[in-house]
Copies of this chain bind each other. A is one copy, B any other.
């Protein structure tokens, strides 16, 4: 049984769900994967950099008791004191630059740890450089939890679709806007639907990341970059939000058996990848028509399989935490970790 030291950067809903999942799975990890994980570092803006080489008691962490940790001055000291084997980067998103997540991930890789993130910003702004650095260090940089809340997308292509070229993808990636449309279909105005989503804790107080299409744009950028090797910037993505959609238009579509959803697209065209985000009418025969009311769905067109749909209805901090664990086990499972 190999002991593996994990450092959690960010201890909000996802960090807590991850700690809980590790507890739930500890026997299985020992028996099936011959590993024993210890959380030897926890950090957040509020907590600072806390390390404990012998490992924190996860139950205490979940109770909000961080007193066992030693405060470190900066991330390299933290990784070093925690003897980190893997960094779980689950801090909040900076969509403009991906910082400071990218610098933190770089520090972890340079320290000799694996880096796993749920932070889309790090993928959008750092995918190539971080992947390259990980390779140079004999480590890995993985990010399954960034899109579709832990549902396998990146690993699906990496592990199960060899020698397949992705020609086009089209998906509903933002569940907040889906919820708003669903409320509008049920009769609410846009403002009322947004309020319902905010009261349910689904939409943010400042909802612009969702309803102006930024979240979907960031996600389709990550998908296009990783799966289609697209060389595009976020600003290259034509982006239309949903503020302009009237309740009448949503209800008229519903009456005709259709649904309006915020759809993200990426497609190879003349040797480059073109991506966009905007509201679209989805008719019953559309591959996206089966999309769950509150989840995500992506329709992929490939040169080998023609088409492939992947969807998931219930996503949350627990599924995102599973995405992190799946990345971690995919690394641990690979023979290279032993080196």
Chain A residues within CB distance 8 Å of chain B: 21, 25, 28-29, 32-33, 150-152, 155-156, 159-164, 285, 287-293, 295, 297, 304-315, 318-319, 322, 325-326, 329-330, 333, 335
**Does A313 lie within 8 Å of B319, measured CB to CB?**
no
Q: Hey, which chain B residues are within 8 Å of A289, CB to CB? A: 289-290
Given known A289-B290, A312-B308, contact A160–B164 (CB-CB < 8 A): no
**Does A322 lie within 8 Å of B335, measured CB to CB?**
no
**Does A28 lie within 8 Å of B287, measured CB to CB?**
no
Given known A155-B159, A156-B160, A163-B25, contact A314–B310 (CB-CB < 8 A): no
Of all chain B residues, the one with the shortest Cβ separation from A292 is B287
**Does A319 lie within 8 Å of B304, measured CB to CB?**
yes
**Does A152 lie within 8 Å of B161, measured CB to CB?**
yes
Of all chain B residues, the one with the shortest Cβ separation from A313 is B307
**Does B290 lie within 8 Å of A311, measured CB to CB?**
yes
A326 to B93, CA, bound (A): 35
Complex A-B: 25 CB contacts under 8 Å: A21-B304, A25-B163, A28-B163, A29-B163, A33-B162, A33-B163, A150-B305, A152-B161, A156-B156, A160-B160, A160-B326, A160-B330, A162-B326, A162-B329, A163-B325, A164-B322, A285-B293, A290-B290, A292-B307, A305-B312, A305-B322, A307-B314, A308-B312, A309-B312, A309-B313
Q: Hey, which chain B residues are within 8 Å of A318, CB to CB? A: 304
Q: Hey, which chain B residues are within 8 Å of A164, CB to CB? A: 322, 326
Q: Hey, which chain B residues are within 8 Å of A28, CB to CB? A: 163
**Does B151 lie within 8 Å of A305, measured CB to CB?**
yes
A314 to B161, CA, bound (A): 16
Q: Hey, which chain B residues are within 8 Å of A29, CB to CB? A: 163
Q: Hey, which chain B residues are within 8 Å of A308, CB to CB? A: 151-152, 310-312
Most-contacted residue by chain B among A21, A293, A308 (CB, 10 A) = A308
A335 to B305, CA, bound (A): 26
Given known A305-B312, A305-B319, A311-B290, contact A152–B162 (CB-CB < 8 A): no
Of all chain B residues, the one with the shortest Cβ separation from A293 is B285
